[in-house]
Chain A
Amino acid sequence: MITVVNVDFSTVLPSGIAAPRIAIADIFELKGRAGDQVPVRQGLIVNLRRSAPVRVDVPPGTYLVRLKAPSGQLLMQRIQVNDDGAAPSLELRPAPSQHALQVDKFGHRVEFGARVPREVAPLRGPSDEPSGSRLQWSARLLDQTGKSPDLTYLPGLPVREVVQERQDYMGVAKLMAQSAPDALQGLQRRREGSSHLVGDVSAVQAARLYGDGDELTTQWKYPLRKKAIIGEPSTEGKQRRFFALSYRATDTFSPLQVACIPGRWVTQENELAQVRVSYRERTVGGESSRAMELEVDDPDFGGLIEFLQQGDLAGSYRVVEQALDVLYAKWRNPYAAAAAGYVLLQAGLPGSDVGRNWEQWLLNLAYRYKGIPDGAILFTTLLLQSRQREVRTLMYEGGAHNPFRTPLGAALEAVRRGPPLFRYGLNLMATNLAILEAEESNGVQAKELDVAKRYVRELSLRVDPAQALSVFDVSA
C-alpha cells in the first residue's frame, strides 16, 4: 500500500513568491511513547518542477516527513503507514498546484516560473503584440568602424520602436560582448560610466517583452537568434556567456541593469532550456524597486541555482552529488558544471572518479571555455585556496602560452574575461586577488593586479545580491 504525502509549499510560502523547483526531504520513524526520531532516509531530492513522486519503502509505523525548500521554508507532516498485508511505502508527491504547466486567463500555457498564488502574467495576449516590423527583432552585428558600441550606445538597436508606452518604455536587449586581449589595460584607460563592465559589444538583439503593469517578461533559448552570429545549434565546446540589458527608452536611452546569461543551456534530455527574464517590482526591507530577475528552466539543475543563491551548501551538494557523472562525463552543459564546481570546491571533492580527475577537469573548463569566466575563477581558487593533489601532473593545453600555469596568470586571465556568470565567482575572485596583491605588492604585475582588484570591487558594488546569476546596476 502506498501512503501519499502531498508536497505543497503554497501553504507556507508568502504571497507572490515562486514555488521552489526542488525540496530536500528527511524521513524519520517515530518510535516509542516519547516518539524517538530514528532516521530512515535523509537528503532525498524531491523534484517539484518535474512533479516526480519519490517513493520510499518503509515498514508499517509512524513517520515524520520534513521537507525543506532552498529558501528555508519547511513542510512537516506526521504520517501513519498502516499494515494492510501489501508491501508498504511512502510516496512524496508534489501537489498539482505546483506544476509548472499552468493556464493563464488568456488560455495560454505558461511554461514555468509560476508565482504563488498571484495570477501568472500571460506570455502573449491579444493586445500584446509588440509594434514594429519583424526585422526590428532580429539579431544584428554592430558596426565597429565608428564610435565603439557600449551599453549606452547600441547603433542599429531600434530602442524606441520596440518599446511601448503601456510598458513604461521598458526594453530588454540581448548582447554579445567579449573582453579584448588587452582588457586589463583597457580597464585602466576607460572609466566612463559602466560600459567597461562587459567588454566590447559586437552584436545585439531586442527581446519581445510581454505583460504590462506589474510584471514584464521575456524568454528565449538562444541568446541571439541568428546562425550567422552564434553558429549552429549543435556546436559544443564553444559555449560562452552573453548579456541581457534592461533599459528605458523615452527621449533618451537609459540602460538600467545588465545580466550575465548563459549561451545554450542544454538539459539532461539534450534540449535547450529557456532562459526567462522578468522585470518586476521587488520589495526588500520595506523599500520597493523594479529589478530584473533571471531564471533558467532546467528541471534538474534549476534547483541547484536556487540553493546556490540561498547559500545552502548542504542542499546544493545533495543536488550535485546525484548528478556528478552527468555533469562531468560530458561537455554538454558547462554552465551547470561551473555551478557545481562552486559547490564542490567548498564542500570538498567526492571520493569517486570525478574526484580523481577534478583538477584536470577544472583546468580544461578554464582553458577551453574562454567565454565562461567561472571556469578560470574556479581554477584560480583551486590553486590559491584549496588542496591540490595532481596539479604538477596536469596537461596544460597550449603549452607555455596557457595562462593557468601560475595562480597570478590564472587570476589575471579570469578578470580579463569579464564578469562571471554566477555571482559567487565575484566572492572567490575578490579573495584570490587579495591573496595575490599581498604577494605581489612590489612585483612586476602589481599594477595589473591593482586594476583587476578595482574592477572586481566595482562589480561587487554593482551586483544584485538577491540573484545567483550576476546582474549589475548600470544606471549610474
Chain B
Amino acid sequence: MALIIDARQQGAPGVHAVLIGVGCYPHLLPGHPLGQYAPEAGLPNLESPLHAVAALAHWLASEMTLQGKPLRTLRVLGSSPTTATPWPDSEPTFQNIQGHVHDWYDDVDTHEQNLAVFYFCGHGLRIGAVQALLAQDFGSNSHLPFSHAIEPEQFARAMGKARALQQVFLIDACSTTLKLPEDYEEIQPSSLIQAARNDNLGLTRRAFIRASEFGTSAYGVPGAPSVFMTAFLTAMRGAAAVRRTPTEWVANTDVLKTAANWLIQQTPHGVGQEVAYGGGLSSTVDLHELPGVPLLPVQVTCNPSAFEALAELHVDQLPQGGQGHWPTNVELPLGNHDFQAIESTSAGKTVHGELLGEYVFPPYGLVSIPCGGTP
C-alpha cells in the first residue's frame, strides 16, 4: 500500500509527506478527448516521475532531520512505463490520489507543529492562471475531458484550514499552455480538499514552489529523477542552507528556490527551466537541519577559459577531474579554499593560475581563476 512509513504517535508532531509521480498516461493517445485543445507536442509517458518520488522518499526516510519533527507518515504513489513500481496499491489514478491525500490531510490536521509535504511529478497543463496536474487516468472520460486533474493552487489554499502551520508544496510538472476553450466552464480541476473557514492565514507558513515557471517545461531525464528533484537533493546537502546558530545550518525553502534554480541552469537538460514561487505569496519554511557544514556547488572557471582545456583543476592541492577534463562544478564544504589550474607535461608542472583562500558560501560559489600567459 502507499503508506510506506507509519510512525504516528498520538499527540506528537512530525512530518507527513505524500509523494505522487505519474509516469503512465494510458488514455493520452491520438484522438485524445482534448481534441483541438491538446498540446501540439502531445503528452507522452514519462520515466522520471517514479525515480523522482523514489529518490525523495529515500531522502525523507533516511536523511531529512528536523528536531522535534521526525518523519511520521510517508505515502508514495507512482507509475512508470518502463519500471515496476516497488509499492503495491500505489497507482496514481485520481481516485487513489484523492483517497491518499485525504488520509494525509487527516494526519496533517492532528498538530500545529506538523510539517506537511506534498510533491507531484508528472504532466501539467495551464490555461491562464489555472494549472491542472494530470492524474494517471486523465483523459479517460470523454464527456469531461478535463476531469481527473488537480488544481494545485486551489488545493494548497484549501489546505489552509489544516492545523499544521507549516506546509510545503513542490510541483514538479510542466504547465503547458492551452488556449482558452469555448467550453471553458467545464474546466474544473479538483482541489482535492474542500476549503473551509479558518483563522490560519497569517499563521500558516506555506511555501509553494514550482519546478518551472508558469507556462514553461519541467524536464526529466530518462531512467533518472527529474532535473528539479536532482537539484533539490543536491541543495539539501548545503546549497539551500542558512545559518541558524554558529553551529547549526538549516535548509529552507527560500534559499532552496534560489539554489535549485541555479543548479538546474548548470545542467544541459535544465537550461531554460526556472524555479518559481506559485500559489500567491510563499513563506519561508525550514526543511532540513544539516548534520554538519554545508556542502556547496562551486563553479570554477579559468579566465581566459582556454586554459580549461589544458590544465587540471586542483582544489586544496587535490586534483579534480583530470587534465583536460575540467569539471563543470565541484562540491566543497563552506569555507576558504585554494583553487589552482595546473598543467602537467614531461617538462614538469606549470601553474597557469591560482586563487588562494577563496571563501565559498551558500547558495553556490562562482570562482574564476585568473590565468596568465598564452595557452
Residue B187 lies at the interface, judged by CB distance under 8 Å to chain A: yes
Residue A345 lies at the interface, judged by CB distance under 8 Å to chain B: yes
CB contact under 8 A between A33 and B336, given known A64-B359, A460-B130: yes
**Residues of chain A within 8 A of B179, CB atoms compared:** 476
**Residues of chain A within 8 A of B176, CB atoms compared:** 285
| Partner pick for A384 among B197, B216, B261, B277, CB 8 A cutoff | B197
CB contact under 8 A between A342 and B243, given known A34-B336, A72-B261, A465-B214: no
A466-B276 in contact (CB<8A):
no
**Residues of chain B within 8 A of A311, CB atoms compared:** 208, 276-282
B214-A385 in contact (CB<8A):
no
From 149 to 205 in chain A, residues with beta carbon under 8 angstroms from any chain B beta carbon are none
**Residues of chain B within 8 A of A39, CB atoms compared:** 243
A285-B215 in contact (CB<8A):
yes
From 202 to 219 in chain A, residues with beta carbon under 8 angstroms from any chain B beta carbon are none
- Once bound together, how far apart are the Cα atoms of A466 and B215, in whole Å? 9
**Residues of chain B within 8 A of A37, CB atoms compared:** 243, 361
Residue A314 lies at the interface, judged by CB distance under 8 Å to chain B: yes
Residue B328 lies at the interface, judged by CB distance under 8 Å to chain A: no
Closest chain A residue to B202, Cβ basis: A348
B277-A388 in contact (CB<8A):
no
B129-A434 in contact (CB<8A):
no
In the complex, per-residue mask of A451-466: 1 if CB is within 8 Å of any chain B CB, else 0? 0001001101111111
Residue A308 lies at the interface, judged by CB distance under 8 Å to chain B: yes
The segment from B43-51, B89-97, B152-160, B230-238 that touches chain A is B152-160
- Once bound together, how far apart are the Cα atoms of A349 and B201, in whole Å? 10
Closest chain A residue to B261, Cβ basis: A72
CB contact under 8 A between A435 and B180, given known A74-B258, A285-B216, A427-B279: no
- Once bound together, how far apart are the Cα atoms of A34 and B187, in whole Å? 56
| Partner pick for B202 among A314, A387, A424, CB 8 A cutoff | A387
Minimum CB–CB distance for A29 against chain B, Å: 12
A312-B261 in contact (CB<8A):
no
A312-B128 in contact (CB<8A):
no
Minimum CB–CB distance for A199 against chain B, Å: 20
- Once bound together, how far apart are the Cα atoms of A434 and B160, in whole Å? 13
- Once bound together, how far apart are the Cα atoms of A385 and B194, in whole Å? 13
- Once bound together, how far apart are the Cα atoms of A198 and B126, in whole Å? 23
- Once bound together, how far apart are the Cα atoms of A72 and B363, in whole Å? 12
State the main secondary structure of chain B at its contact with A.
Answer: loop
From 273 to 302 in chain B, residues with beta carbon under 8 angstroms from any chain A beta carbon are 275-284
Residue A386 lies at the interface, judged by CB distance under 8 Å to chain B: yes
**Residues of chain B within 8 A of A226, CB atoms compared:** none
**Residues of chain B within 8 A of A426, CB atoms compared:** 129
A386-B180 in contact (CB<8A):
no
Residue A40 lies at the interface, judged by CB distance under 8 Å to chain B: no
| Partner pick for B129 among A35, A388, A460, CB 8 A cutoff | A460
B203-A387 in contact (CB<8A):
yes
From 65 to 121 in chain A, residues with beta carbon under 8 angstroms from any chain B beta carbon are 68, 72, 74, 76, 78
Closest chain B residue to A308, Cβ basis: B281
**Residues of chain A within 8 A of B158, CB atoms compared:** 431, 434
Residue B67 lies at the interface, judged by CB distance under 8 Å to chain A: no
Residue A30 lies at the interface, judged by CB distance under 8 Å to chain B: yes
B199-A387 in contact (CB<8A):
yes
Residue A438 lies at the interface, judged by CB distance under 8 Å to chain B: yes
Minimum CB–CB distance for B68 against chain A, Å: 22
**Residues of chain A within 8 A of B199, CB atoms compared:** 385-388
In the complex, per-residue mask of B100-133: 1 if CB is within 8 Å of any chain A CB, else 0? 0000000000000000000000000011111000
Closest chain A residue to B207, Cβ basis: A313
**Residues of chain B within 8 A of A308, CB atoms compared:** 281
Residue B66 lies at the interface, judged by CB distance under 8 Å to chain A: no
From 277 to 293 in chain A, residues with beta carbon under 8 angstroms from any chain B beta carbon are 284-287
**Residues of chain B within 8 A of A465, CB atoms compared:** 126, 128-129, 214-215
**Residues of chain A within 8 A of B217, CB atoms compared:** 285-286
| Partner pick for B128 among A342, A348, A388, A461, CB 8 A cutoff | A461
Residue A58 lies at the interface, judged by CB distance under 8 Å to chain B: no
Residue A343 lies at the interface, judged by CB distance under 8 Å to chain B: yes
Minimum CB–CB distance for B39 against chain A, Å: 11
Minimum CB–CB distance for A290 against chain B, Å: 15
Residue B191 lies at the interface, judged by CB distance under 8 Å to chain A: yes
- Once bound together, how far apart are the Cα atoms of A308 and B154, in whole Å? 18
Closest chain A residue to B249, Cβ basis: A37
Minimum CB–CB distance for B286 against chain A, Å: 13
**Residues of chain A within 8 A of B275, CB atoms compared:** 72
- Once bound together, how far apart are the Cα atoms of A464 and B213, in whole Å? 13
**Residues of chain B within 8 A of A310, CB atoms compared:** 276-277
**Residues of chain A within 8 A of B370, CB atoms compared:** none
CB contact under 8 A between A284 and B203, given known A427-B153, A460-B128, A461-B187: no
| Partner pick for A430 among B154, B212, B246, CB 8 A cutoff | B154
From 460 to 474 in chain A, residues with beta carbon under 8 angstroms from any chain B beta carbon are 460-466, 473
Apart from A311-B279, A457-B185, what are 20 other A-B pairs with CB-CB below 8 Å? Answer: A34-B336, A39-B243, A64-B361, A74-B363, A78-B359, A285-B217, A286-B272, A310-B277, A311-B280, A347-B202, A347-B283, A384-B197, A385-B197, A385-B201, A386-B200, A434-B194, A461-B184, A462-B180, A465-B214, A476-B180
A sample of 29 inter-chain contacts (CB < 8 A) reads: A35-B361, A76-B366, A284-B215, A285-B213, A311-B277, A311-B281, A312-B254, A313-B284, A314-B254, A314-B283, A314-B284, A344-B202, A386-B201, A426-B129, A428-B280, A431-B195, A434-B158, A434-B191, A438-B196, A458-B184, A458-B185, A461-B127, A461-B128, A461-B130, A462-B180, A463-B129, A464-B129, A465-B129, A473-B128
The 4 closest A-B pairs by CB, nearest first: A311-B277, A285-B216, A387-B199, A348-B202
Interface residues of A, Cβ cutoff 8 Å to B: 30, 33-39, 64, 68, 72, 74, 76, 78, 284-287, 308, 310-314, 316, 342-349, 381, 384-388, 407, 423-424, 426-428, 430-431, 434-435, 438-439, 454, 457-458, 460-466, 473, 476
